[in-house]
A and B are shown apart, each in its own frame.
Chain A
Amino acid sequence: MHDFLSFLPFLIIGAGAILLMLLSAFEKIQVEIASFVSMGFFGAAFFAQLLVGCGPEASLFAKVFNGMLVSSNFTMVAGLIILGCGFFTAVSSHSYFKVNLFCTLEFYCIMMFAACGMLLLTMAQELITAFIALEIMSLSIYILVGYDRANVTATEAILKYLILGAFAGAFFTMGTALIYGGAATTKFVEISTAISSGSASQPLLLAGVFFVFVALLFKAAAFPFHAWVIDVYEGASAPVTGFMATALKTAVFAVFANFLALSGELHSGWITFLFWVSVLTMFGGNLVAIGQSSLKRMLAASGIVHSGYLLIALVAISADHFTGSAIGYYLAAYAVSTLGIFAALSYLGGEGEKRATFDDFKGLAKVRPYSAAAITVFLLSMAGIPPTAGFMGKFYIITSAISAGQTALAVLLVVSSAFSMWYYLRLIINMYFHEAEDSFESIGSPLAGAGTLALVVCVFAIGLYPIVL
C-alpha cells in the first residue's frame, strides 16, 4: 500500500497528461480549460505527495520493479517542488497565452509528461531507468522550448538544445556502459558494493562515473557546459523558461545527489573535481550575468550561479547519512523566487515579450507598485537577503559546507553572492529610481498576478518555516 501511495503523484500526473492528450483531439475544448485541468492535476498530485508523506527510504514495488525506484524524504521534497513548479507554470501560462497566441492543448499535455519524467528521475536508483526518465524530461522540454514555430529565436534555441542535449545523452549512455563493464550492474546499490570491493575494474568505473557526471553537469548547466543555457532560456517563452529553470534543475540535482550519495568512497573521490567545478560555475556565471542587458539572459546566467551553490551543497553532503535536506531546501527557495519572476514576466512582458531588457522595466514601481514590490522580493530572495527563503537556503548550504570542512567554499559562496547583488540590484534600481516611460498594461488574465502574489507568500513562508519549527 505504501508503495502505491508513494507512486500515486506520478500516476496522477501521468493520467492527467494522457487525458489532456486525448482531449486535444476535440475541437470544442479551449486552451484555458486545458490549463485549468493541468492546474487541477498538479494540485491534486501535490497534495497527494504531501499527505502520503514518506517515511524512511523504501524501494517501490521491489519485486516487480526490481528495486529500481526508491522513495525517501528527499525524493518526496523534490517531487513536491516539481509539482509546485508545474502548478505555477500552468498558472502563468494561462495568462501568458492570452496575449501570445501560439498555444494548443498539447502544451499542457507535454508539460505534464515532462513532470512525469522528472518525478521518475528523482526516484530512479538505476542508471538505465534514470537515462530514460532523463530523456522523457528533456524531450518534452525541447518541444516546449520550440513551441512557438514562428519565432526564429525559439527555433534556434530548440536546435541548439536538442543537439547539445543529445550530446549529453550520449555521454550518459557511454558512462552507463563503462560502469556496467566495471561493476556488472547498473543499480546504485550494487555499484556501491562494487566500488567498495575495490576490484581490478576501478579504471572502468572511474571513466564511467566521469561521463555520467559530464552528462549531469551539462543538464545542470555547470561551468564548462553552461554556454547553451543562455540562448535556450532567451528563446523559450517566459513560463517555459521558468519551468526549465526550476523543475528541471530540481530533478537533475535530485538524481545527481542520489548518484553521488551511493557510496562514501565515490563521493570523497570526486570532491576535488566538484570543488573546482562549483567555484568556476559560480564565478563564471557571475561574469556572464553582469554583462547581460536582457532580463531573461540575466536570469539564465544567475541560474548558472545558483547551480554553483547547489554543487557546493553536493560537495558537502555526507554519503553515509544522506538526507539531502540542504539541497532540497535550497531548491525550494530558488524555485519559488525564480518561478515568481517568470510569472511576473509572463503578464508584464506584453505581446510577443516586447519588454525584455532592463531598460524596458524602468519606472515599473511608479505604474505598478505591487508588481514591482513582488519582483523586488524575488530578487532579494535570490540575492540572499533575510528574511527571505533565499537567505535561509544559503545559510544552510554554508553551515553544511563548514561542517563538512569546506570553509573555502563557504567563503567563496559569500563572495559570489556579493557579486550577484550587482545585477539583482540593477533591476531594482531601474524599477524604482526612474520615471515610467511605459504604461505596463497587462491584457492577460489576472491569474499570473495571483500566482505571483502566492509565490511572494511562499518566499516568506519557506524562509520563516525553519524558524517557526
Chain B
Amino acid sequence: MSAEWLFYVFSVLSVLGASGLVLFRHPMSGAMSLIVTMISLAGLYALLSAKLIFVLQLIVYAGAIMSLILFIIMFLNIQTIDLPEEKGRFYYLVGGIILISPIASFLIKVVKSLPGSEATIVGSGFGGVKEVGLVLFQDWLLPFEIVSLLLLVSLVGAVVLAGKRRLNK
C-alpha cells in the first residue's frame, strides 16, 4: 500500500519538476526543477527494485551531470536582463498542449487497457550490480560495445564544435 502512495508521490513530483523545467524563465530555476525530476525518477526506479539504476541515477544524473549543468549556468552568469523576451510564449504553450493532447489521450487509453496486477517484490538479487552485469555482458554485449562509438563521436564532436581549431594552412 505504501508503495502505491510512494509511486504517486514520485510520479507527481517528477511531472511537476519537468513542467517547471519548461515553464521557469531563468535557467537556474529550470536546472533546479530538473534535479527534482531526476531524484523522483530515482525513487521510481527504487520502487521497481532496480537497485543499481537507482544508485546510478542519483550519483551520475542527479549528482555529476546536474552539478556540471549548474556549474556551466553559474559560469555564464545569466541575469534576468540577458534573457530573451519571449512574447506570446503562453500562446505557443496552449498550441503545443492542443497538439499533444490527442497523443496523450491515446497513451492514457493504452495504459487503461493494461490488466491490473498487484505489485510484488521480485526475487532477491534482482537489479543488483552482479545481475545487471551478467545480463549486460552476456545478452547485451553489442549495444554495450557500440555505445563506446557513440561516446567517441560525442567526444570528438565536442572538441570540434567548442575547441580551438587548427585550420587548413
A and B together in one complex: yes
A142 within 8 A of B: yes
B24 to chain A, nearest CB (A): 18
CB-CB under 8 A from A101, the residues of chain B are 167-168
Residues of A within 8 A of B146 (CB): 120, 129, 132-133, 136
Would you call A203 and B152 a contact (CB within 8 A)? no
Is B19 located at the chain interface by the 8 A CB criterion?
no
Q: Are A21 and B156 in contact (CB under 8 A)?
A: yes
Within the complex, what minimum Cβ distance (angstroms) separates A276 from chain B?
Answer: 16
How many chain-A residues does the 8 Å CB contact rule pick out? Answer: 45
Please give the distance in Å from A63's CB to the nearest CB on chain B. Answer: 10
Contacts of A110 in B (CB 8 A): 153, 156-157, 160
**In terms of DSSP, what is the predominant structure of the interface of chain A?**
helix
Known contacts A132-B143, A178-B110, A206-B110; A30 and B159 CB within 8 A of each other: no
With a CB–CB cut-off of 8 A, which chain A residues contact B149?
14, 113, 116-117, 136
Contact of B168 among A21, A103, A128, A133 (CB under 8 A): A103
Name the residue of chain A whose CB is nearest to the CB of B157.
A143
Q: Determine the chain A residues whose CB is within 8 A of the CB of B113 once the complex forms.
A: 203-204
- Using CB atoms, name the residue of chain B closest to A27: B166
Contacts of B139 in A (CB 8 A): 66
Q: For the complex, what is the distance from the CA of A268 to the CA of B34, rounded to whole Å?
A: 42
Q: How far is the CB of B108 from chain A (nearest CB, A)?
A: 11
Query: When the two chains form their complex, are residues A207 and B110 in contact, meaning their CB atoms are under 8 A apart?
Result: yes
Query: Which residues on the A side are within 8 Å of B147 (C-beta)?
Result: 132
Instruction: Write the chain A residue with the least CB distance to B112.
Output: A203
Is B94 interfacial (CB-CB < 8 Å)?
A: no
**Which chain B positions have C-beta within 8 A of A18?**
152
CA distance A126 to B144 in the complex (A): 13
Question: CA of A66 to CA of B154 in the docked complex: distance in angstroms?
Answer: 27
B97 → chain A, closest Cβ, in Å? 16
How distant is the Cα of A30 from the Cα of B168 in the complex, in angstroms? Answer: 7
Q: Is residue B106 within 8 Å, beta carbon to beta carbon, of the partner chain?
A: yes
How close is B20's CB to chain A, nearest CB, in angstroms? 18
Quick one: closest B residue to A109, CB to CB? Answer: B156
Task: Closest A residue to B159 by CB, please name it.
Answer: A106
Q: A30-B168, A136-B150 are in contact. Are A128 and B160 (CB under 8 A)?
A: no
Is B89 at the interface (CB under 8 A from chain A)? Answer: no
Closest residue on chain B to residue A174 by CB atoms: B107
CB of B142 within 8 A of chain A? yes
**CB-nearest residue of chain A to B145:** A65
* A135 x B142 contact (CB < 8 A): no
Over the window 122-159 of chain A, the binary record of Cβ atoms lying under 8 Å from chain B Cβ atoms (1 yes, 0 no) is 00001011001101100110110011010000000000
For chain B residues 121-157, which have a beta carbon within 8 Å of chain A? 139-143, 146-147, 149-150, 152-154, 156-157
A64 to B149, CA, bound (A): 18
Minimum distance in angstroms from A71 CB to a CB of chain B: 14
On whether the beta carbons of A21 and B152 are closer than 8 Å, the reply is yes
Q: Which residue of B lies closest to A98 (CB)?
A: B168
B interface footprint on A82-125 (CB within 8 Å = 1, 0 otherwise): 00000000000000010001111011011001001100100000
- A113-B149, A117-B149 known; A143 and B160 CB under 8 Å? yes
**Residues in chain B near residue A113, CB distance under 8 A:** 149, 152-153, 156
Residue B109 CB within 8 A of the other chain: yes
Q: Which residues of B contact A332 (CB under 8 A)?
A: none
Please determine whether A68 and B143 come into contact, CB atoms closer than 8 angstroms: yes
Flag whether A1 is at the interface (Cβ < 8 A): no
Do the beta carbons of B160 and A147 come within 8 Å of each other? Answer: yes
- Would you call B106 and A207 a contact (CB within 8 A)? yes
Roughly how many angstroms separate A206 CA and B111 CA in the complex, as a whole number? 12
Q: Which residues of chain A are within 8 angstroms of B166 by Cβ–Cβ distance?
A: 27, 104
- Chain B residues with CB under 8 Å of A109's CB are 156
Per-residue contact bits, chain B 4-39, to A (CB 8 Å; 1 contact, 0 not): 000000000000000000000000000000000000
Cβ-defined partner of A128 (8 Å) among B107, B109, B140, B169: B140
Most buried by A among B154, B157, B165, B166: B157
What A residues does B81 contact at CB under 8 A?
none
Question: Which B residues are CB-close (under 8 A) to A126?
Answer: 142-143
List chain A residues, Cβ under 8 A from B169: 30
On whether the beta carbons of A146 and B161 are closer than 8 Å, the reply is: yes
Residue of B nearest to A61 (CB): B142
Nearest Cβ distance between residue B110 and chain A, in whole angstroms?
A: 4
The CA-CA distance from A135 to B147 in the complex, in Å, is 9
| Interface residues in A35-60 (C-beta closer than 8 Å to B) | none
* A200 contacts the other chain (CB 8 A): yes
Q: In the complex, what's the smallest C-beta–C-beta distance from A170 to chain B, in angstroms?
A: 12
Q: Is B114 an interface residue (CB 8 A)?
A: yes
- Measured between beta carbons, the chain A residues less than 8 angstroms from B116 are none
Structural contact, A207 and B153, CB atoms closer than 8 A: no
CA A140 to CA B158, docked complex, whole Å: 11
A339 at the binding interface (Cβ < 8 Å)? no
User: Are A143 and B161 interface neighbours, CB within 8 A?
Assistant: yes
Q: Answer yes or no: B88 CB below 8 A from chain A CBs.
A: no
- Cα separation A66 to B142 with both chains bound (whole Å): 8
Q: How far is the CA of A21 from the CA of B115 in the complex (A)?
A: 52
Chain B, Cβ-Cβ closest to A181: B114
- Distance of A104 Cα from B146 Cα, bound (Å): 25
Task: Kindly name the residue among B109, B114, B156 whose own CB sees the greatest number of chain A CB atoms within 10 A.
Answer: B156
Contact A139 B143 (CB under 8 A): no
User: Taking A65-B141, A128-B143, A147-B160 as contacts, is the C-beta distance between A204 and B150 under 8 angstroms?
Assistant: no
Query: Which 7 pairs of residues, A with B, have the shortest CB-CB distance?
Result: A143-B157, A203-B113, A65-B142, A207-B110, A203-B110, A106-B160, A113-B153
Point out residues on B near A: beta carbons under 8 Å.
106-107, 109-110, 113-115, 139-143, 146-147, 149-150, 152-154, 156-157, 159-161, 165-169
Q: Apart from A132-B150, A204-B110, what are 5 other A-B pairs with CB-CB below 8 Å?
A: A64-B142, A66-B140, A104-B168, A113-B149, A203-B110
A-B contact pairs, 6 of them (CB 8 A): A65-B141, A116-B149, A120-B146, A126-B142, A203-B110, A204-B114
